[in-house]
Structure formats: structure tokens, C-alpha cells
């Protein structure tokens, strides 16, 4: 650990943090992937800001009382102090370097911040395979390449798991007799890849990606140069394009049941969509909500029949077919959704919350200029998941496939990981 970081316990808190002009405290836990992702960033920033700000780490499990008295509810949680008083926002979860640095800048003031930032040195790292995206496809490509003795770095703006990581339960991943929570499966993937030697840059931003010279700039400071790149950026929720949707996203409209279903206790909820996600996630929402109304634009669901049957059998779930939303607005704490029925009638439906599951779009903005795309917007690849750019692969939901399942993502990652390693050994 950096000489600028002090590991303390609760008994030293008042003396060391309370009396410091400026301090930052990281409450961490063991067996905590976001804590592990934060540690190298905390160290790196301590070596830049450590002369001016006291950097402290406190093991939360052994200092529970102190953590609770400071309102710490999760690990990691990073708190900022000026003259012993809390300042700024508490950071928690998958903390990005930029979020931490912005708060440190505020703590030291703009002039000092500018001077410290000027002192930061950029660095260059080389690896055999750079995997962009830590969902199941990227993690599998990384695993196979690393097991074949390639040096592999995985970078992701969030933590490991991608969309799989925020799926409530995964009931069809072979080898797990009972449904497994998505975060658990993600953690298993990450652990296995770590044991194979994969290096991580999680909760890190790619500020530039150049497929031509196969380099990526991470958090504006580190340039990674790779012999092979595997693109595994996955997808993001598709927008409906309905008035009010953009403004109310995160303020009444959600695209993540795992994140927000728990806030729907005893509420009436509207779910828009008719695919697997809408039908499956409605079950989770129904565990909390009073009623879930699935609104679908056609008279037939796209989802698998077993998911439709299960939803139909749930007394809390109702279907509103051949119906489309035309407007979202807020009325006090409630959401109002205008729904257009097949007869052309528009009715206002009140809800405690709205969830959109209307499909996903590939995240290709970082690499759009170089790649060739299929007509459906996915990245064009050959059977080995090679793109049109030499030494660059694309896997998972970036690539066209008849069904989008974790097993399919894993299959893509397998093919690309093996081929990337094979090409490396041939050169
Ligand atoms: P999806 O299969 O593409 O379904 C999207 C749904 O949203 C469709 O029912 C579609 O209606 C509707 N929709 C799209 N645009 C709309 C609009 N403008 N207005 C109203 N409705 C609109 O997407 P998904 O459910 O997110 O699933 C994505 C992929 O992940 C799929 O391949 C799915 O199999 C997979 N997945 C699997 C599981 C599982 O196996 N347990 C769970 C989740 C996701 P139409 O049907 O009329 O086009």
C-alpha cells in the first residue's frame, strides 16, 4: 500500500481524520469486487494528492459502529472531510477514478488541483490481448486467452458482469441446478479469469480507443497497447422515443429491475415490452409491487412461451396487448402513462413506477469509425469473431445471433479467445 495511505481503526478516527485539515476515508470490505477495483485508483490518487489530503482506509467489517454512525451502508464507501466535517458527496459502489479525482479537486481547491493534475504522469502498458467489456463474452475471451498464456487486460466502465451481472436470477446457465443470481455468476467468472492471470481495469473509462494501432487510453492517463483487441461492449437499453421518457429516466422510469424493483413495494407498476426481459423481470417486480401491468404493442409476445405462461399464472401480473405508450409525465410522486389502445382511444394510466424493456442496442460508439456493420446494426464478424479490422475481434451482444443468452456470449468469447491466442502463437 502507498506510503500516503494510513490504515486505521475506529479508535484512531477522531484523532487522525477529525483533526486533519483535509481527509478522504475509504470504508472497504474483503471479498468485495468493487473494493478491489477501487484499490489501485485510490493508491494512484494518494500518490498525487497525498501531500495535501490525508488518505485513510478503514476495514468496515471490524469497524461497523463507526461506519454506521457515518451512514456508511455499502462497501466501498468513500467519504470526504474538511477540518473534521463531512463535505461533498459520498461515493460508493463501482467508483470511477474521475469521480474520486473530481471530489479531491474540490477538496484542495482549483489552483492546487490544477498544479497536482499537471504533475500526473501518463504511462504505457503493453499486453497481448486487450478485452473491452467485462460481460460474459469478454470475460470468457479473457479467460481462454489467459489460460493459453497470453497477457490479458480487461477494461470496463463498470464492474465485471455486464448485463448478466444485473440480472436478478439466471435459471438456464448449464451447471447450476438452481437459479443463480447474475452478480454471483459474474463474480465466479471474474474469479476464474483472475486465477488465469487476467489483469483488470474495472470502473475505468476508456477515453480513446484506436483500433488501427490497437491502443486504448484509460482514465486519460494510461495507454494500453495490445497485439489483439476483443470488443465486448455489449448493449444498452433501447429508447422508445416517447415524450417524457428521456427526462424521467431514473426519476420514475427505469430499465433495471434488479436495481429498482425493491422501491416498488405495494405500488402499481407499468412494464413496457413483450420480449424475454419484460416477461422475466416482471416476475421480480411483482415480488414487491401490488400489481404489474405489462404493456405490449402486438397481440402476441416475442418472449419464450414458458416465460409468458409463468407471467400469466402470476396473479399480480396483467397484460395489456396491442397498446403503446404515447407520453410519460410525473404527477407528484406518481407516474402517468398515456396509453393508446387498439381502438385509438388514449387513456391515462397511473403508476408508482415504469420499467422499459424494449430491447437493446449495441454499444459501438467507441469503435464506430473503423468497423463494418451488418444491416441490423451489429458488428460484422467471421466465424472466428474476427471483424474487418485486422487483429480485432467482436463478441457477445455486439454480434448478430438468433438468441441472446449468456451461453451464446460465452460461446463467442470462447471462439475469439482461442483464435486470438492461436494467432499470437503463430506470430
Ligand atoms: P427483445 O427480445 O428485442 O424484445 C423487445 C420487446 O420490446 C419486443 O416485444 C418489442 O415488440 C418491444 N418493442 C421494441 N420497440 C418498441 C417500441 N418502440 N414500442 C413498444 N414496444 C417496443 O428485447 P429483450 O427482451 O430486452 O431481450 C433482448 C435479448 O436478450 C433477447 O435475445 C432475449 O432472448 C435475451 N434475453 C433472454 C432472457 C432469458 O432467456 N431469460 C432474459 C432477458 C433477455 P415486438 O415484439 O412487437 O417487436
User: What is the reported pLDDT for 3?
Assistant: 84
Q: What does the alpha-carbon distance between residue 351 and residue 223 come to, in Å, rounded to a whole number?
A: 47
Nearest to 278 by CA among 398, 360, 334, 183: 360
Distance 301 CA to ligand 1 centre (A): 9
Q: Report pTM.
A: 0.79
User: In whole angstroms, what is the distance from residue 377 CA to residue 360 CA?
Assistant: 11
79 and 48 in contact (C-beta within 8 Å)? no
CA atoms within 13 A on the CB side of 325: 29
Residue 381 backbone phi and psi in degrees, to 5:
-135, 165
pLDDT tens-place string over residues 52-82? 999 999 999 899 999 999 998 888 999 999 9
**What pLDDT score does 258 carry?**
77
Q: Whose CA is nearest to atom 26 of ligand 1?
A: 359
**What is the whole-number distance in angstroms between the Cα of residue 339 and the centre of ligand 1?**
19
Question: Per-residue confidence of the chain (427 residues) as pLDDT tens digits?
Answer: 678 899 999 999 999 999 999 999 999 988 787 888 899 899 989 999 999 999 999 999 899 999 999 998 888 999 999 999 999 999 988 888 999 999 999 999 999 999 999 988 889 999 999 999 999 999 999 999 999 999 999 999 888 999 888 787 888 899 999 999 999 999 999 999 999 999 999 988 899 999 999 999 998 889 999 999 999 999 988 999 999 999 998 888 998 887 788 889 999 999 999 999 999 999 999 999 999 999 999 999 999 999 999 999 999 999 999 999 999 999 998 999 999 998 999 999 999 999 999 998 899 988 988 899 998 889 999 999 999 999 999 999 999 988 889 999 999 999 999 999 999 999 7
Q: How is residue 55 written as a grid cell? A: 488518505
Cβ pair 238, 357 in contact under 8 A = no
Going from the Cα of 93 to the center of ligand 1, the distance in angstroms, rounded, reads: 28
Give pLDDT, residue 34: 84
Place of cell 459501438: 364
| Interatomic CA distance for residues 359 and 235, integer angstroms | 9
pLDDT at residue 48, as a whole number: 92
- Report the pocket of ligand 1 as residue ranges, CB < 6 Å: 240, 273-278, 280, 296-298, 302, 324, 357-360, 403-405
Dihedral of CA atoms 368, 370, 372, 377 in degrees, nearest 10, equals 0
Cell numbers placing 247: 427526462
If one residue of 163, 236, 275 were mutated to test the ligand 1 pocket, choosing by the most ligand atoms within 8 A of its CB, it would be 275
Atom 37 in ligand 1: residue holding the nearest Cα: 276
Report the nearest-CA residue for atom 30 of ligand 1: 404
Q: Ligand 1 mean position to 236 CA, how many Å?
A: 12
Position of cell 488501427? 212
Q: Best mutation site among 180, 319, 358 for ligand 1, i.e. most ligand atoms within 8 A of its Cβ?
A: 358
Instruction: Quote the ligand 1 centre to 303 CA distance (angstroms).
Output: 7
The predicted pLDDT at position 414 comes to 98
Pocket test for ligand 1, best of 167, 235, 276 (most atoms within 8 A of CB): 276
Q: Give the per-residue pLDDT at 111.
A: 96
> What strands, in cross-sheet order, belong to the sheet with 334-340?
324-331, 334-340, 346-351
Q: Which residue lies with its CA nearest to atom 9 of ligand 1? A: 274
Helix axes 276-286, 305-313, angle to 10 degrees: 30
- How many residues does the structure list for the chain? 427
Cα 278 to ligand 1 centre (Å): 7
pLDDT recorded at residue 236: 86
Q: Domains (ranges, CATH) in the chain?
A: 5-119 (3.40.30.10), 123-236+360-426 (3.50.50.60), 245-356 (3.50.50.60)
Residue nearest to atom 23 of ligand 1 (CA): 359
Residue nearest to atom 21 of ligand 1 (CA): 273
Residue with cell 387498439: 342
Distances in whole angstroms, Cα of residue 87 to Cα of each of 17, 46, 51, 64, 158:
13, 18, 19, 21, 25
Collapsing DSSP to helix, strand or coil, 404 comes out as: coil
Residues 6+ apart with CB under 8 A from 393: 141, 228, 229, 230, 231, 381, 384, 385, 386, 387, 416, 419, 420
Amino acid at each position: 500500500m502507498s506510503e500516503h495511505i494510513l490504515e486505521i481503526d475506529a479508535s484512531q478516527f477522531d484523532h487522525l481524520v477529525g483533526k486533519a485539515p483535509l481527509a478522504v476515508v475509504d470504508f472497504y470490505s474483503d471479498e468485495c469486487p468493487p473494493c478491489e477495483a477501487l484499490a489501485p485508483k485510490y493508491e494512484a490518487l494518494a500518490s498525487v494528492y497525498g501531500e495535501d489530503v490525508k488518505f485513510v482506509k478503514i476495514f468496515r467489517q471490524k469497524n461497523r459502529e463507526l461506519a454506521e454512525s457515518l451512514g456508511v451502508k455499502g462497501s466501498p464507501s468513500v467519504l470526504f472531510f474538511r477540518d473534521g466535517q463531512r463535505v461533498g458527496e459520498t461515493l460508493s459502489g463501482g467508483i470511477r477514478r474521475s469521480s474520486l479525482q473530481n471530489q479531491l479537486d474540490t477538496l484542495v481547491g482549483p489552483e492546487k488541483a490544477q498544479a497536482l493534475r499537471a504533475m500526473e504522469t501518463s504511462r504505457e502498458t503493453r499486453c497481448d490481448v486487450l478485452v473491452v467489456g467485462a460481460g460474459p463474452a469478454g470475460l470468457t475471451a479473457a479467460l481462454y486467452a489467459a489460460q493459453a498464456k497470453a497477457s490479458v487486460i480487461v477494461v470496463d466502465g463498470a464492474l465485471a458482469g455486464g448485463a448478466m451481472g444485473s440480472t436478478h436470477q439466471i435459471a438456464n446457465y448449464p451447471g447450476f441446478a438452481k437459479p443463480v443470481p447474475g452478480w454471483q455468476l459474474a463474480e465466479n467468472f471474474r474469479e476464474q479469469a483472475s486465477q488465469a492471470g487476467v489483469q483488470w481495469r474495472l470502473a475505468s473509462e476508456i477515453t480513446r480507443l484506436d483500433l488501427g494501432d490497437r491502443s486504448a487510453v484509460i482514465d486519460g492517463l494510461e495507454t494500453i497497447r495490445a497485439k489483439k483487441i476483443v470488443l465486448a461492449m455489449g448493449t444498452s437499453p433501447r429508447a422508445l422515443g416517447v415524450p417524457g421518457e428521456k427526462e424521467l429516466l431514473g426519476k420514475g422510469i427505469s430499465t433495471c429491475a434488479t436495481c429498482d424493483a425493491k422501491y416498488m413495494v405495494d405500488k402499481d407498476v407499468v412494464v413496457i415490452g413483450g420480449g424475454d426481459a419484460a416477461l422475466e423481470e416482471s416476475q421480480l417486480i411483482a415480488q414487491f409491487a401490488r400489481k404489474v401491468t405489462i404493456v405490449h404493442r402486438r397481440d402476441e409476445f416475442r418472449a419464450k412461451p414458458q416465460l409468458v405462461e409463468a407471467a400469466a399464472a402470476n396473479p399480480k401480473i396483467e397484460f395489456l396487448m396491442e397498446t403503446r405508450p404515447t407520453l410519460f409525465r410525473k404527477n407528484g410522486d406518481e407516474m402517468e402513462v398515456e396509453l393508446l389502445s387498439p381502438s385509438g382511444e388514449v387513456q391515462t394510466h397511473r403508476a408508482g413506477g415504469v420499467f422499459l424493456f424494449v430491447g437493446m442496442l449495441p454499444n459501438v460508439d467507441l469503435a464506430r469509425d473503423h468497423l463494418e456493420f451488418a444491416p441490423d446494426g451489429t458488428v460484422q464478424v467471421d466465424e472466428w469473431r474476427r471483424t474487418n479490422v485486422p487483429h480485432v475481434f467482436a463478441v457477445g451482444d455486439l454480434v448478430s445471433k438468433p438468441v441472446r443468452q449468456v451461453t451464446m456470449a460465452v460461446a463467442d468469447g470462447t471462439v475469439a479467445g482461442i483464435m486470438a491466442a492461436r494467432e499470437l502463437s503463430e506470430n
